[in-house]
Amino acid sequence: MFRAAAISRSHPLALIALLVLLFAVPALSHADDKPNLPRYASLRVSEVNLRAGPGTKYPIQYVYHHKGLPVEILSEYDVWRKVRDWQGSEGWVHERMVSPARTVIIKTDTRTIYRDPARDSPALAKLEPGVVAKLLECSNAWCRIGTEKQNIKGWLLRSEIWGVYPDEVVQ
C-alpha cells in the first residue's frame, strides 16, 4: 500500500499504467478460453441422453445409441452442451458425453467413396446413408474419411456428408 501511494503522488501516470496492466492481463489470458461456437464434435459413449435443458432435472427427449455420432455444439452452459444432430434434433448433453474427435455421417443416399478426390478416380466402396466415419481431412469440395468397420479410407464430396462446415479446412 505504501508503495502505491508513493507512486501515485510522484507519478500518477505510472499508477494508471500499473492498474491497466493488472486488469488487462487476466482478461487477455482468458481471451482464448472462449469456446469456438458453433463447432462439430462427436458422442464419446454409446448411450447419451439428450435433455430438454441444461441439467439432470430436465426431461430426456431422446437417447442416442451410437458412439462417435457427429453433433454440432451450438452453445454451452456450465458443464452442459446444446447440440444438434444430423436430423436437426436439438437438446442438451453433459460435456463428458462429447469428444472433440471429428466424425461425419453419410446423408441421404448411398455414396461412392473414391481413392482420390476426383469422380474419375477408382471407386473403393459404396456407403449407405447413416454410416458414420472418421473425418481425416477436407479441402475444397472433397473430404477424406475413414470407416472403422470396413477399414476403408477415401474421398467423397463434402456435400454428401454432415459434420463439416461448407468452407472449413480440416487437416
- More confident call, 139 vs 26: 139
Q: Is 159 helix (H, G, I), strand (E, B) or coil?
A: helix
DSSP one-letter code for 110: -
Q: What is the pLDDT of residue 149?
A: 83
Q: Do domains 39-101 and 104-162 have the same CATH topology?
A: yes
Query: For 40, phi and psi rounded to 5 degrees?
Result: -95, 150
Q: Mind listing the pLDDT tens digit for each residue in 109-118?
A: 999 999 999 9
CA dihedral defined by 48, 128, 108, 86, rounded to 10 degrees?
A: 20
- At residue 119, does pLDDT exceed 50? yes
Cell numbers found for residue 84: 444438434
Cell numbers found for residue 40: 462439430
> Domain 39-101 is in which class?
mainly beta
DSSP one-letter code for 148: S
- At residue 102, does pLDDT exceed 70? yes
Beta carbons of 84 and 71 less than 8 angstroms apart: yes
One-letter identity of residue 121: S
Domain ranges in the chain are 2-33, 39-101, 104-162
Q: What is the pLDDT of residue 23?
A: 46
Q: Mind listing the pLDDT tens digit for each residue in 45-93?
A: 999 999 999 999 999 999 999 999 999 999 999 999 999 999 999 999 9
Q: What is the pLDDT of residue 130?
A: 96
Beta carbons of 93 and 50 less than 8 angstroms apart: yes
**What is the architecture of the domain spanning 104-162?**
Roll (2.30)
Q: Looking at residues 26-43, what average pLDDT do you find?
A: 71
Q: What is the pLDDT of residue 20?
A: 43
**What are the residues facing 85 on neighbouring strands?**
none
Residue whose C-alpha cell reads 505504501 in the numeric block: 2
